[in-house]
Structure 1
Amino acid sequence: MGKFPPSFRSAIPSTSLIKNRPSQQLQQPHYSPKKPTKKNTPQPHETQTPPPHKSLFKTSSLNEAKILFNSLVSTTKPRLPDNLRLHNSFLQSYTSISTLDDSISLLDHMVKTLPSLSPDRSTYHVLLSQSCREPDSSLYSVQKVLNLMVNKGLKPNQVTVDVAIRSLCTVGRVDDAVLLVKEFSSKHSKPDTFTYNFLVKCLCKSRIFNSAYSFIDEMKSSFDINPDLVTYTILIDNVCNAKNIREADRLVAVLKECGLKPDAFLYNTIMKGYCLLNKGIEAVRIYKQMKEEGVEPDLITYNTLIFGLSKCGRGGMKLETASYATFVRALCREGRVAEAYEVFDYAVESKSLPDVAAYTTLESTLKWLKKARENGLAV
């Protein structure tokens, strides 16, 4: 069997152009409690940096790229296989240093040299990603690749939309991404929820909130694309970071009117917003509301509440008796007795409760928990 030259094998990227989407659109924020538990964190010397990727091409010369491809075809025994992924990798390596026109010319040459090679959407997505990186103040380069796809009988789909939008946003062309997603929605394919929410997140980061609201309203009225729970969570997270908790409360009311039910992640986001404003008591109130609506707290919920209490302590705020009892009982039910003692310490140190009252609540909760477990009851 013939083998590929070592330089060609090393140039094939280990990851594809489009990575698998994560199971969640956003990562949940983590907050350390007042007395963080010790964890075995890796030392700096343990971090391994992957070796730099070796480019197959030394220059951007189109002629040299064609010669290299011809060499691969002629020297490989048996004939270079018509593996589309392999050829896409070859093309993608060249796009990293070439112009869009030269990349298109190289693809034409590859097809002529190997007539059995049949480019599909993934091939043109390589060119599409490059077109988004072109120093072009308009979308001419992007339109050029899209027209090329359509002329080859390949209609842009949701993956095409995702590649274009993410590539544009990556290089800071958020306004162009908004224009393009509207054009896709009217002519080709609407974005899926992942792409839609990704663009909303980019708008929130790079523009004032009103631009994100305008985009959401226009996509809803013009293309019947409605915001989902992830969309509202993105908006709420951004307004909370801006310490605009009133707007966060308004957004919660709006999403409920739309028939959406807040989840633990959204409630955690709102609690974080109150904590940033040193309103730990309000965070406890949100926790109560969360429980009343049947939403189960998670690890982040409790870490956020403890973080909020530490902020309260620095601000001189006191913990109400009812809030203290609710928090302690919740932590004990989750088996987080150490954190329950932290809340006890806070209540005593801040003089929110008399020592006896605080201890009595904690002691009765622990006794109840022990008895419930002995009787095999779910807590």
Structure 2
Amino acid sequence: MSRSWNLALESLRLVRRGHIRTLVSRALFNRTVCTISEDLLSSSSSSHTVVDESYVLAELSSLLPISSKTTTGKEDTCLKDEVAVDSFLSPEERLRGVFLQKPKGKSAIHKALSSLCVDLSIDIVANVVDSGNLSGEAMVTFFNWAIREPGVSKDVGSYYVILRALGRRKFFTFMMDVLREMVSSDLKCLTIAMDSFARAHYVRRAIQLFEESQDFGVECGTESFNSLLCCLCERSHVSAANSVFNAKKGEIPFDSCTYNVMIGGWSKLGEVEEMEKVLKEMVEGGFGPDCLSFSYLIEGLGRAGRINDSVEIFDDMKHKGCVPDAKVYNAMICNFIFARDFDESVRYYRKMLDEECDPDLETYSKLVSGLVKGRKVADALEIYEEMLSRGIVPTTGLVTSFIKPLCSYGPPHAAMVIYQKARKAGCRISESAYKLLLKRLSRFGKCGILLNVWDEMQECGYSSDVEVYEYIVDGLCNIGHLENAVLVMEEAMRKGFCPNRLVYSRLSNKLMASNKTEMAYKLFLKIKEARIQDNARRFWRRNGETDKVFVYVKISLTGSHLSPTLGVVCIPFWWVVVA
């Protein structure tokens, strides 16, 4: 009994004095601990003495006083604090955090997930299973719980999400179990599974899955065969695809798509002879080459370095009665971009417009990206404006791909033009694009624009993390707004972030150089506290625990022995484990 109580007291002493001081006065704490220790030691000397439960509870009440009149208020405060801290976590992080606690049994996991009261949707389910480090069993358990919730429908579209996530993480056993347990699978489910095997270089298993497609309710025909070839060629297993292509001649009827997939596969490798061989078989099979065939052929010649031959094929297309479409022009533009002949690529783009061939998103994607990487910024911005004027809105990832190279050289003006026009066109900007802009603006000291972009980032629903706060602090330091930089850093620490040592050192040195010693010292104390808490969080994350806002110790009585268990003492970000 005495040993257990000493361990409990020792654990309480490990908690920082600054937190204890907010609960009880130091004098009362020391007096009560000494009183309890002496009484417990005297009681242990008599073998017939039984510890009175009311006495122990009274001593604990003096140690951690809680007024009965304000109990409800304090509980409400604790609840508010807990909700406030929990609000910093996204729904996906809260759902994944359940599995970090390792509940025993599926029913316990389902109960813990339901207790979070998250407005579930298929997008949240996709974010949970696509990121993090959940095991295959945990992913399947979570998905089985999710499809029973009202926000997620139990249809084939939901199964696409879990199959793709399991295949990406190479949990093939669980992926196949889900595929077999589905009520009705379709060709897309089978394609996701075959593509997962091909991505992991399990070519034989992908082919075997195609041959067993009838067991999953999918016909083993031309369409499923084309899907298999497409998966293999997309993952650069063109030789294996060619072997299956030759083996299935006569067994499965081929169509023009079958031949085009094989031509496209060899095109990516620049194998001109193999492309011509498949093209010859295509003609012998009664299928004439179409624009897609010519686009693959032109692209393959460009990869092989035979630009002049690709130009000849492009010029001969009209004589063969095949008018070039956007895919053919895209192949020509791509060839000249690879050859770093940007003027010629722009010329083919202008020729495309003169021939009244409407460019698509891929046209502008290749052209603008090539010009930006080639540092032809003026031409890139001109083409970009033409794209928006035609009503073609870039995707979120495409805007990020435009901004990323522009933020690696020169001032941030061009990147801001891309950002502002895309935002005006209604395109959603990614969080990574915002961070790239903030970093570049911070480096050039454009603090006015920096703060505006930061506000727009928050309006889009992105929360600020430690990187964002570091960029803001750096930008404010660069223009000498040290007081504002300190305020931003204090806000970051209040949210549980600890800026890195380089950012803090730069700000601290500038404060000292400006004779603001008192401000620098107060910042030092706060950053020291934040680092202690950050180190504690890192420690418990490494040991499989999640961040806790309230740490407590609860001591219960079992007969005449003290049996300490885990409970709560309002000490932020710390765990006190009493053995």
Give me the TM-score of the superposition, normalised by structure 1: 0.54
Look up the match of 1:296.
462
Contact 1:236–1:248 (CA<8 Å) still a contact in 2? yes
Q: 1:124 aligns with which of 289, 294, 301?
A: 294
Q: How far 1:347 moved relative to its partner?
A: 3.6
Amino acid at match of 2:523: A
Distance 2:502 2:264 in 1: 58
Cross-structure match for 2:522: 357
CA distance in 2, matches of 1:161, 1:18: 23
- Report if the CA contact (8 A) 1:248-1:270 is conserved: yes
Q: For residue 349 of structure 2, what is the aligned residue in structure 1?
A: 181
Listed as ranges, the matches of 1:116-265 within 5 Å are 122-132=292-302, 133-136=305-308, 139-145=311-317, 148=320, 150=322, 156=325, 159-160=327-328, 162-185=330-353, 187=355, 189-218=357-386, 225=392, 237-246=404-413, 248-249=415-416, 263-265=430-432
Q: Which residue among 323, 328, 337 is the counterpart of 2:485? A: 323
CA shift digits 1:242-294 (9 cap, x unpaired): 332355556655556556675533432222223443x3967963564345645
1: distance between equivalents of 2:272 and 2:504?
A: 64
Shift of 1:54: 7.5
Between the aligned partners of 1:55 and 1:215, the Cα distance in structure 2 is: 40
Offset at residue 93 of structure 1 (A): 4.5
Q: Give CA deviations for 1:281-319 in whole Å, capped at 9, x if unaligned.
A: 6796356434564541466xx436537867998x8x766
Name the SS for the 1:136 alignment partner.
Answer: helix
Query: Does the CA-based 8 Å contact 1:275-1:307 persist in structure 2?
Result: yes
CA contact (8 A) 2:299 2:331 kept: yes
Shift of 1:149: 7.2
Alignment of 1:52-67 (within 5 A): none
Looking at structure 1, the residues matched to 458 and 441 of structure 2 have their Cα atoms a distance apart, in angstroms, of: 19
1:306 is aligned to 470
Of 242-251 and 264-273, deviating more is 242-251
> Residue 141 of structure 1: CA displacement?
2.6
Q: Report the residue type matching 1:150 in the other structure.
A: C
* 8 Å contact from structure 2 (residues 282, 288) kept in 1: yes
Rate the CA distance shift 1:281–1:348 in 2: closer, same or farther, 3 A.
farther
Change (3 A) 1:89 1:124: same
- CA deviation vs aligned residue, 1:83-130 (integer Å, no higher than 9, x gap): 45468537964994558xx966x5664245444x56565433322323
1:40 is matched with: none
State the structure with bigger RCO (CA 8 A, min sep 6), 1 or 2.
Answer: 1
Distance 1:193 1:265, change over 3 A: farther
Between structure 1 and structure 2, the one with the greater Rg is 2
Q: 1:295 to 1:280 in 2, by over 3 A?
A: farther
What is the alpha-carbon distance in structure 1 between the residues aligned to residue 310 and residue 280 of structure 2? 28
Residue 439 (structure 2) aligned to one of 272, 276, 289 = 272
% identical equivalent positions: 12
State the one-letter code of the partner of 1:206: G
Q: Is the 8 A contact 2:482 2:511 kept in 1?
A: no
> Against the structure 1 CA distance between its residues 284 and 364, is the aligned structure 2 distance closer, same or farther, given a 3 Å change threshold?
farther
Per the alignment, residue 497 of structure 2 pairs with 336
Distance 1:139 1:326, change over 3 A: same
Q: Give me the whole-angstrom Cα distance separating, in 2, the residues matched to 1:97 and 1:253.
A: 43
Provide closer, same or farther for how the CA distance between residues 282 and 147 of structure 1 changes in structure 2, counting only shifts above 3 A. Answer: farther
- 1:122-141 Cα offsets, whole Å, 9 max, x none, are 43332232354533299443
**Equivalent-residue separation in structure 2 for 1:114 and 1:294 (angstroms):** 54
Structure 2 unaligned spans of 5+: 1-206, 208-227, 532-547, 551-569, 571-579
Shift of 1:202: 0.7
Question: SS where residue 172 of structure 1 aligns?
Answer: coil
Letter in 2 for 1:329: E
Distance 2:308 2:248 in 1: 42
Distance 1:246 1:206 in 2: 17
Residue type of the partner of 2:367? L
Equivalent of 1:348 in 476, 501, 508: 508
CA distance in 2, matches of 1:204, 1:83: 41
CA distance in 1, matches of 2:360, 2:418: 22
Q: Contact 1:125–1:163 at 8 Å: present in 2 too?
A: yes
Per-residue Cα deviation, 1:193-251 (whole angstroms, up to 9, x for no partner): 34413311211222532222333345566x55567776765665555433323555566
Counterpart-to-counterpart distance in 2, 1:306 and 1:236: 20
**1:166-207: CA deviation from partner (whole Å, max 9, x where unpaired):** 344233343333333344455465333344133112112225
Q: 1:110 aligns with which of 270, 281, 286?
A: 281
8 A contact 1:281–1:319 mirrored in 2: no
The answer as to whether partners of 2:396 and 2:427 remain within 8 angstroms in 1 is: yes
Read off the aligned partner of 2:262 and give its amino acid letter: S
The amino acid that maps onto 2:489 is: F
Instruction: Assess if the C-alpha contact under 8 Å between 1:332 and 1:340 holds in 2.
Output: no
Greater helix share, structure number: 2
Letter in 2 for 1:136: N
1:190 to 1:54, Cα distance in 2 relative to 1, 3 A: same
| Whole-angstrom distance in 2 between the partners of 1:252 and 1:88 | 37
Partner residue, 2:262? 89
Structure 1 residues 288, 187: closer, same or farther in 2, change over 3 A? closer
Relative to 1, partners in 2 of residues 1:373 and 1:226: Cα closer, same or farther, differing over 3 Å? same
Relative to structure 1, the CA distance from residue 149 to residue 347 in structure 2 (aligned partners, 3 Å threshold; closer, same or farther) is farther
Q: Does 1:285 align with 2:451?
A: yes
Aligned partners of 1:87 and 1:193: how far apart in 2?
Answer: 22
Q: How many residues align?
A: 300
